Amino acid sequence: MYLNLVEAVDLALARALTEDERVIILGEDVGRNGGVFRATVGLRERFGARRVLDTPLAETLIAGVAVGMSSQGLRPVAEIQFFGFIYAALEHLISHAARLRNRTRGRLSCPLTLRVPFGGGIHAPEHHSESTEAILTHIAGLKVVALSSPRTAYGLLLAAIRDPDPVIVLEPERIYRSFKEDVIDDGQAIALGQCLSWRKGTDLTLISWGAMVQDCLRAADRLAQHQISAEVIDVACLKPLDMTTMIRSVALTGRCVIIQEAVKSGGLGSEIAARLADHAFYALRAPIKIVSPPDVIVPYFRLEQAYLPQIDDIVSVCRQLMETT
């Protein structure tokens, strides 16, 4: 099937509901309306109102009910409409979902999946465009993944739903419908905890996640015109990090640029850079660079594109890095 990312999400959810009667979909408008981004279209009609539940506009309630469901043997897939609304749910995610296995010494687990659209590029107010994933990656007990294409959406979402512990699935809004890929509905998951290599290269390594992966691929095409061979790595699983793949790449290329939609201060890119400096220092031929927005709240409408990293920014930093010996 030739699908865009949001259609691949819907396909994976249908597969999960079909395979496992314990899977329950819940969230604001996910039932009758098919979700604010139409990621759950048709699921209520196919599987019934007892398995695809509309909830009140209350993120704290959604997270709390999902934790309760998961502790009693169900596998809830809850949706928070936008990342900027997740903060009300953090109490349940941090204090309960992430700690339940440890708190009960393994007697209970929390197989909860939380789907969250994130990132900018859709010209919406700031609560609808945030990329503060570093908050979640700091929490022990949570797994965090970021989708970057229709195929990864299908495979990573299935892996998250099947996982015995809580997984946050970040879905980049601006590429929900930007392109399509062939997606095979074969039930094959993409293992959590590993990076995905999208393109091989020898001169430098581009590391990113979410929507920025597609920008990195386009930047790599541009760099090839300047005889610069760039490897593109999709972090995919933000927690736990697959540092082995990233270290091996940087050890080969000697140069690294990390690209993120999140602001630089306290971001995941800084954590990756620190670990690379610790384990691949002697392979580096130039300093590790991070391309990110300025430390400000996402601006509205016309200023949003100036805020987000652009392909030109990535290319410029890479070309400067190649001049460093």
Q: Name the β-bridge partners of 75.
A: 23
β 204-208/256-259 pair status: parallel
Give the count of beta carbons closer than 10 Å to the beta carbon of residue 12.
27
State how far the Cα of 6 lies from the Cα of 177, in Å rounded to an integer: 7
In eight-state DSSP terms, residue 299 is P
Half-sphere exposure of 32 (CA within 13 A, CB side): 3
Answer yes or no: 279 catalytic.
no
Residue 50 corresponds to which tokens in the numbers above? 């007892």
- 96, 123, 127, 128: the catalytic one is 128
Residues in the chain: 325
Alpha helices (H) along the chain: 5-19, 43-47, 59-71, 90-92, 100-103, 134-137, 150-162, 212-224, 243-253, 268-279, 302-307, 311-322
User: What amino acid occupies position 5?
Assistant: L
Residue 141 corresponds to which tokens in the numbers above? 């007990």
β 196-199/230-234 pair status: antiparallel
Are 216 and 232 in contact by the 8 Å Cβ rule? The answer is: yes
State how far the Cα of 143 lies from the Cα of 253, in Å rounded to an integer: 29
Q: Hey, which residues are catalytic here?
A: 128
